[in-house]
Amino acid sequence: MSLQAAWVELQKGKAFETVVKEVSEDAISRPKGGSLGCVSMYAFGKHFANAVTALKPGEYSRPFESPWGFHVVRREAMKDDDVWNLLRNEWMDEKHAQILNTIRMNAKIER
């Protein structure tokens, strides 16, 4: 099935997860019905960000191309746990960077 045929099937009401499992070449998201998890809309670059920004929760993008291939994106509503995990991960990344910076600034090289 081509991407365009998959898009037509989605428009007819076929389940996104079913279409993904029939069409997707992505070995990571295909077994999960296309789910990429809860990530920043910019995690996959501007093409994904532009597609997601234009959607309301539950809507599908039109097929589009990115440096990684062709895609149809479905936007999901974020749950409270999703927001919490995203903020926690960003905070932890920032703290990790601060700790590494402190270690580098305080490191002494002896000969």
- Per residue in 74-107, pLDDT tens? 888 777 787 788 788 888 989 999 999 999 999 8
Model-level pTM greater than 0.85? no
What band does 72 get if pLDDT is binned at 50, 70 and 90?
A: confident
The CATH number assigned to the domain with range 3-77 reads: 3.10.50.40
> CA 78 to CA 96: how far, in whole Å?
25
> CA 55 to CA 4: how far, in whole Å?
19
pLDDT of residue 88: 86
- Strand, coil or helix: 11: helix
Of how many residues is the chain composed?
111
Every domain of the chain and the residues it spans: 3-77, 79-111
